[in-house]
Amino acid sequence: MSEEAAAPATDSRVAAAVRPSPNHNARRGPARPDAIVVHYTGMADGPSALRRLCDPEAEVSCHYVVEEDGTVIQLVPESRRAWHAGRGLWCGADDLNSASIGVEIVNGGHDFGLPAYPEAQVAAVIALCRDVMDRHGIAPERVLAHSDIAPSRKRDPGELFPWKRLADAGAAIWVEPSDDGSIGLPLDPEEVRAVQADLARLGYGIAPSGIHDAASRGVVEAFQRRHRPARVDGAMDPGTRDTLARLLLLHGPGGPTR
C-alpha cells in the first residue's frame, strides 16, 4: 500500500494549508519582497473568493487568504510574484506585485456594507504579517493598504480595518489622528503643494502640482481611510495635515529601510 502524498509545505508557520493558485510568475528585480500589501476580498464569502483567486481565467491571486475564523491559507509561494496589486505606485515603484507579499482578508468590503473584521481574523492577520516581516526583514512602514498604492481604483481594506492594532504589534505604522474636526480655511496653491509633497514623501503616488483636483483628492481620501478614518472626504483639513505631519516626523518616508 503506497503512502499518502504529503501535503504541500507552507512558507509561513501561521498558514494552516495550501490551496495552489496557478496565477503567478517570477518576481522582477530583487528576489526578496520588501513590502506587504493588505486587501479585502470584496466578495460575498470566502469560498467565492478562493475560487476566483485560483481561477486561471481570472488572472488574480495572492500569497495568503485569511478567513473570518482566522484560518490562513497559502495560495502562491512567497518566492513567486502573485497577481494582487495591479496598477499602483508607492515610493516611485510601480511593480508592487514583484516587491510584495499579498494578503487577502475575507471581507465583503464596501459593496457588501463593509462588515467589521472579527477578532480571530485580526489576530491571524497580525500573526501572519509579523511572521512574514521577521523572515524577510520588512519594516512596519512597508505594510501597505491596497488603497495606498492604488488610490484612484481601490478602497481596501477600508476605513474599518484596525491599523492601530497592527501598529501596536509592530506590524504597521500609526499615530493617533488629530481630533481637530474643523474644515479650516481654503489653502493657497503653495500650501496645497506642500501637503502633496508630504504625501509623496510618505510614499503616495502624487505630484506636487498645487492643484487639489480629483486625483489629489483621491490620494487624500486614501490617506484618511488609512490614518484618519473617522472622516474620509478628501479635504486637506487641519486634522488631516496634522496627522500627516506627525506620521512623517515619527516614521519618515515609506521606502525600503533594510
- Catalytic residue positions, numbered: 104
Task: Indicate the burial class of 97 (C-beta count within 10 angstroms; 0-12, 13-18, 19 or more).
Answer: buried
H or E stretch at 25: strand 24-26
What is d(CA 124, CA 105) in angstroms, rounded to the nearest whole number?
10
Q: What is the DSSP string of 195-217?
A: HHHHHHHHTB-----S---HHHH
Neighbours of 8 (CB within 10 A): 11
Strand, helix or coil at 24?
strand
The x, y and z cell numbers of residue 235, run together, are 479635504
Sorted by sequence, the CB contacts under 8 Å of residue 13 that are 6+ apart come out as 131
Sorted by sequence, the CB contacts under 8 Å of residue 68 that are 6+ apart come out as 46, 106, 107, 118, 120, 121
